[in-house]
């Protein structure tokens, strides 16, 4: 299933659980370790749209120190600035994200990704 992808961080328990769930269901996703191979701004914008989010902020890990250090809670920031922050600091991206047939889902909880398969 070359169209099935997971933006994966092996250090994240939810990411590992989601990947294991996919394997248990017989899927072999293409694994993108986004901390090593960052996604582009265009790809991230497309993922935000596929998730049905109205703002890039919905994909951000607001508890990360980088979120506070970069003042990303500032409501006047543009969508481009938010996406740029995630591209520049990948740990700001909520994870894991599963992509399949033009759809996306965040694996929190891991079972939530099954609805797009």
Q: CA–CA separation, 57 vs 112, rounded Å? A: 20
Of 4, 5, 12, 17, the catalytic one is 12
Asked about 12 being catalytic, the answer comes back as yes
- Active-site residues: which are they? 12
């Amino acid at each position: 299933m070359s169209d099935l992808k997971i933006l994966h961080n092996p250090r994240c328990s939810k990411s590992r659980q989601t990947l294991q769930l996919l394997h248990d269901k017989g899927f072999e996703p293409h694994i993108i370790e986004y901390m090593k191979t960052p996604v582009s701004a265009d790809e991230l914008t497309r993922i935000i749209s596929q998730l049905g989010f109205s703002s890039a902020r919905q994909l951000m890990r607001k508890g990360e120190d980088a979120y506070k250090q970069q003042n990303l809670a500032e409501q006047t920031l543009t969508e481009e600035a938010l996406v740029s922050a995630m591209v520049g600091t990948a740990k700001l991206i909520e994870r894991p994200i599963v992509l399949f047939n033009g759809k996306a889902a965040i694996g929190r909880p891991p079972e939530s990704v099954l609805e797009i398969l």
